[in-house]
Amino acid sequence: MSSYFIGIDVSTTSSKALAIDEQGHITHGESFPHDLATPRPLWAEQDPEQWWSASAATLRSLLEKIPAEAVKAIGLTGQMLGLTPVDKDGHVIRPAILWNDLRSGAQCDAITEQFGAHALWQHIGSMLLPGMTLPKIIWMREHEPDNYAQIAKVMLPKDFVRFRLSGAHVTDIADGSGFGLLDVGKRQWSGEMLALADIPRAWLPELCESPDICAYVSEEAAALTGLIAGTPIVGGAGDQPAQAVGSGIVENGQTSLTVGTSGVLFTSADRYLPDEDGRLHTFCHAIPGCWCYLGVMQSAAGSLRWLHDEILPDRSYDALNKMVGSVPRGANGLLFAPYLSGERHPYPDPLARGAFVGFTLRHGLAHMVRSTMEGVAFGMRDLVEIARDKDIYPPSAAVSGGAANSPIWRQIITDVMNMPLYTVNTTAGGAFGAAILAAVGAEAWPDVPSACHALIQQVDTTQPDATGVEAYERIYAAFRQLYPALKDLFVTIAPLDEG
């Protein structure tokens, strides 16, 4: 009988599960959607029980196609940073506060002032930002004291699914890096941060490395999912480290650009050297003894989805791509600021807003589509420029996410970066990376790099076009003026958004 390894991805939009065999081939995959609530401006919440019900449904469906006894291990991945508070009986206290929820800016400022900004950046590997877990906990203490008083455990999204699968309260240190409570250089919880924030250590999960077996499927979860009780579960990783594993970004300096709902620059590093100004996240990688640099823009392909859903719902994405081809580079002077969900890097500003700048009577919908694609590419270029400030000059990068599926958008991004971009032989991303981690935990491969070298190959490379590179250098210089010009206006108009 063949052996299988399952990767589960608890993303913002859905729970997915896929199985790979001993050769790393994806044999089956399933997905069930999640709902997203935005009850107030800057807020983003989900019901954790929906993560579990969707994950259980994916597993039941998957196990109709492969024998449960052939599943040798399970890996988990999912949206990072979110806060799931659980009481002493294991019940969810309130809806989870997600990675793109920006309500806790004041709490970030207070903690940063107490600890000292530079010391904090060096300790937790990043500025403390509203997306992270710690300021959300403090927000609960200040704004929902009754809920706060019930907390017995705090969990990240994928780890709530692990909790329901096994009863184990565990996270991997790659995902745990986003708590804001980890001493990232030492790969352990920070006593200093816990003391400063006055948060009990007992609330936090136990830590493990991403490919390590840390839990086993319980009898109760086996009955609900079709899995065999006792099936091992490895630590897994947050969606970005798992996506990097699934793209083969496992050696020092290797880089990927993920242009999905959010946009992410990911660079693998073999040492802990946080950015002096905290402008990138320096987190633990899913590979033991390795770290990574993460730069994040809050709304990347999500910007194009907004434009499609709200203005062009009757057009296919293929039709949008054709529209872009009819418009010159620079969209005849129409620029797009892609800050629909605030921004994280390089502008840690929850009040940042999206904007089209430069409209004239000659502009139409095709110009808006092209400008959106270019604005997202320029936002990703901002992340690359921070990496270049750290003397990180990758000769090429893996590209994935929705933008990678559009040849014209991929060319725009390639020209804006002036760097070859390649795709790999799977688009399953984080779920595939989680399955690889499960396979390593089950000793199908000796370590994560060995597995990735065996399973992942480059399949398609987009080269920069010299004319496009030259044009976009000029347009990018104009884009760089957008945020500074609009920053004060964002503050002025924020009170007008009262939901």
Q: Are residues 331 and 361 in the same domain?
A: yes
Residue 241 lies in a domain: no
Q: At which of 236, 269, 300 does a domain end?
A: 236
Torsion over CA: 457, 460, 424, 28 (sign): negative
In a domain, 84, yes or no: yes
Give the residue-averaged pLDDT of 96-101: 92
Domain boundary among 236, 263, 292: 236
pTM over 0.85? The answer is yes
Helix ranges (H only) for 63-184 are 105-115, 117-124, 133-143, 145-148, 157-166, 173-176
- Tens of pLDDT along 155-212? 999 999 999 999 999 999 999 999 999 999 999 999 999 999 999 999 999 999 999 9
Instruction: For residue 68, give its domain range.
Output: 4-236
Whether residues 352 and 394 fall in one domain: yes
* Residues 364 and 284 grouped into a single domain: yes
If one counts the domains in the chain, the total is 2
Look at residue 242 and tell me if it is in a domain: no
Q: Does 309 participate in catalysis according to the annotation?
A: no
Average pLDDT of the segment spanning 57-83 = 95
**Among 9, 159, 212, 239, the one annotated catalytic:** 239
* Residue 255 shares a structural domain with residue 182: no
Residues 139 and 263 in one domain: no
pLDDT score, position 456: 92
Bridge partners of residue 172, in order along the sequence: 208
CA terminus-to-terminus distance, the chain = 56
Residue 229 has a pLDDT of 98
Give the other-Cβ count within 10 Å of 464's Cβ. Answer: 17
Residues facing 120 on adjacent strands = none
Pairwise CA distance, residues 382 & 477, whole Å: 11
- Residue type, position 303, single letter: S
pLDDT for the residue numbered 499: 52
pLDDT at residue number 113: 94
Which single residue is written with the structure tokens 């976009």? 472
Q: What is the pLDDT of residues 467-485, one digit of tens each?
A: 999 999 999 999 999 999 9
Specify the CATH number for the domain of residue 68. 3.30.420.40
pLDDT confidence tier of residue 1, bands split at 50, 70 and 90: low
Single-letter amino acid code for the residue at 239? D
The residue type of 161 is: V
Q: Answer yes or no: is 29 within a domain.
A: yes
Query: Tell me: the pLDDT tens digits for 245-270?
Result: 999 999 999 999 999 888 999 999 99
pLDDT confidence of 498, banded at 50, 70, 90? Answer: low
Within a domain: residue 142? yes
